[in-house]
Amino acid sequence: MKLTDIETFVVGNPPPHFGGRYFVFVKITTDSGVSGVGEAYCVPFEPHLVAKMIEDVFARYVAGQDPHDIEKIWRRVYSSGFTQHPDLTLMGVLSALEMACWDIVGKEANKPVYKLLGGQVHDRLRAYTYIYPRPGDKTDVYHDPDLAAERAALYLSQGFTALKFDPAGPYSAFDGRQLSLEALDLSERFCKQLRAAVGNKADLLFGTHGQMTAAGAIRLAKRLEAYDPLWLEEPVPPDAPEEMAKVARATSIPVATGERLTTKYDFARLLKAGGAAILQMNLGRVGGLLEAKKIAGMAEVYHAQIAPHLYCGPIVGAANIQIATCSPNFLILESIEDWGGFHTDILKKPIQFEDGHVIPPTAPGLGVELNEEVARANPYTGTMLHLEMTQHPVQ
């Protein structure tokens, strides 16, 4: 069996854009006609250029290879152009291709990927969602703790037992910083009012995006400890695991991080530094499924857990489900609400979601099929990137 063909899809995510402005999908096909799909997460270039990058890497290193030879393909791409370094762009490209290879391998074996990566550990996967806005909202749920507390009741009625929110202000190209007193007060009010609203029925996941210095994050954590969040997410920028460890040592709140890290090498440095108790690898950036499984194995040695990150499309979501299902140290899975809307439309069969949990698929491969007709009918025509940071210092 050899890989012969590739097709990429740059898909616009219609309003309300939950999961990002667009998704970059890939389909690769073998000489026997078996196809697999993958997705690249948040590569920091115009998405049609990213599609060309995926096609270029496929032509140079992947075409003609047996999709079963994951380790060989991985090393060839990881070393592309004399890199051999956790490069975010290249690893996003590799993640999409590796994911698609596993989809093919699973289809050939007639098994879900999790059955080929150690077997099934979990029958149901606990899930969480951000607290998202709704049409008709009179205020911004991201910055209004009263509305967020009201919205929390809706998510609890859907079975969610954990909710994430980030009221700590915009993230900037010039972070980390000290939060203003107003931002600290708002963050504390969010936790206080959400805890009052959900009681002990749901965990609170305090999301940040590297806004703070270690000293600033410790100031914030001291205010939040009384409300017992399950985690404080990426409190400092991702380039200094030693600084992340300062925060982890100074608070009783578990530190979670990893969406902007890639490969076992980044995560090994984080674990050695003691920088996080919860690893949030994104399968569309980290290096794919096998790399994520290796990271999960390393985390076991440090008694750390995994909570796969998702702010993209449902192909990465499907890969997250596979790795979560076969990992003993799985904690919780990020969902985009209940996987409805466009996240259902872009698949031929939706991800199964029941009472706040994802049910692992029994179909072979990743367990999902891209609806190519919907993908082609929704091309991305914008100019903005998937995610963008504030381009000036925040005071």
* Amino acid making up residue 119: G
Paired tokens of 201 = 């029925």
CA distances in angstroms from 318 to 1, 273, 325, listed in the order given = 24, 31, 11
d(CA 47, CA 42): 9
| Catalytic residue flag (residue 17) | no
CA distances in angstroms from 198 to 32, 133, 163, 376, listed in the order given = 53, 18, 10, 41
| Catalytic residue flag (residue 343) | no
* Helix pair 289-301, 70-78: axis angle to 10 deg: 90
Q: What is the dihedral of CA 332, 338, 341, 347, to 10 degrees?
A: 60
CA distances in angstroms from 312 to 54, 92, 318, 319, listed in the order given = 17, 12, 11, 12
Ranges of H-type helices in 274-391: 289-301, 314-325, 342-345, 372-377
Instruction: Determine which one of 48, 143, 309, 343 is catalytic.
Output: 309
The number of beta carbons lying within 10 Å of the beta carbon of residue 249 is 12
Instruction: Determine which one of 17, 122, 143, 209 is catalytic.
Output: 209
- Secondary structure of 6-31 as H, E, C letters: EEEEEEECCCCCCCCCEEEEEEEEEC
Question: For 85-153, where are the E strands, in sequence order?
Answer: 125-130
What residues are annotated to the active site? 209, 309
